[in-house]
Amino acid sequence: MKTIKSIKATKNVEVGTIKRVGEKEADSEVRGGYWKYVPKSEYKGTNRKQETVVTEEPQTEQSPVKTKKNAKKNY
């Protein structure tokens, strides 16, 4: 696997798009002149930033509800 980054905009890809592809596909893309090789750490850094953007709703503290069992009493 190789990590490549687009250096020119195309119809389908914006400048700065990073993707992980197989070695053969990476070689052909880079030879085309629209992509360049980048370290895998750069790919990981962009993916982790996107994950942290997701926000969660604040959790409210709720007291646990206790239920009493109605036991039948035989008189």
pTM strictly above 0.85: no
In a domain, 61, yes or no: no
- In 1-75 the beta strands, taken as DSSP E runs, fall at 2-6, 18-21, 35-37
Range list of H helices, the chain: 23-32, 40-53
Q: Can you tell me the mean pLDDT for 9-15? A: 92
Yes or no: say if 66 and 36 are a contact pair by the CB < 8 Å rule: no
Contact 17, 34 (CB under 8 A): no
Q: What's the rounded Cα separation, in Å, for the pair 26 and 4?
A: 7
Domain housing 6: 2-52
- Percent of the chain surpassing pLDDT 90: 52
What's the whole-number mean pLDDT along residues 16-23?
93
pLDDT (tens digit per residue) in 43-67 = 888 766 554 445 556 666 665 666 6
Q: Three-state SS for 36? A: strand
We report the CATH number of the domain holding residue 38 as 3.40.5
Q: Is residue 37 part of a domain?
A: yes
Q: How many domains does the chain have?
A: 1
In a domain, 69, yes or no: no
